[in-house]
Each structure stands twice: as C-alpha cells, then as structure tokens.
Amino acid sequence: MLLTLGLAFAGVRSGLRPLQTLASQAGLVSARNWELRIPSQVEQVEELRPLVEAMTQMLDRLRRSFELQRQFLASAAHELKTPVAVLKST
C-alpha cells in the first residue's frame, strides 16, 4: 500500500514537471522581456500545446497593445509640445 502510494506520488510529480517548467518560464516574462521560451520537455507534452499556444497568442496581443500605447503617448507628447511652448512664451 505504501509502495503504491509512493509510486503514485512520484508519477504525479513527474507528470506535473513540464507544467511547473512552463510556469517558471512564464514567470520570467516581463515588460522588458516578452519572450516565452518553451523548453523541449514542455513541447513534447501534447496536452500542454493548447495552453502554450494560448499563452503565446496572449503575449503577442499584449505586446501589440503596449506598442500601440507607446506610439500614442509619443504622438500625444509631440502634439502637446507646440501648445505648451506657446503658453510658456506668453
């Protein structure tokens, strides 16, 4: 009984290792580093492919959103420079 429980625990732990690896890689994603590195042991798990694809697509959408926001802020700052300069000179 104890041996069966130990083997079951080891099997579950081994089965969850790719998911833990994926979680640690996802934790490395930041505003400066959008790259999600998928280790080969995760790519080999068929059940994780939909999750990996969804995470990759989500990061792509977030990257585009941040880029659009950055472009808007740069444009708005540029457009506000002239009126602010006029107000300062008067």
Instruction: Encode pLDDT of 17-75 as tens digits.
Output: 888 999 998 888 888 888 888 888 888 889 989 999 999 999 999 999 999 999 999 99
Q: How many domains does the chain fold into?
A: 1
Any idea what the Cα angle at residue 76 is, between residues 74 and 77, rounded to 5°? 65
What is the C-alpha separation between 85 and 75, in angstroms, rounded? 16
How many C-alpha atoms does 53 have within 13 Å on its Cβ side?
A: 6
Residue range(s) defining the domain that contains residue 24: 2-89
| pTM score of the predicted model | 0.69
So what's the pLDDT on residue 60? 92
23 phi-psi bin (left φ>0, alpha ψ -120 to 50, beta other):
alpha
What is the C-alpha separation between 85 and 77, in angstroms, rounded? 12
Ranges assigned E (strand) in 1-90: none
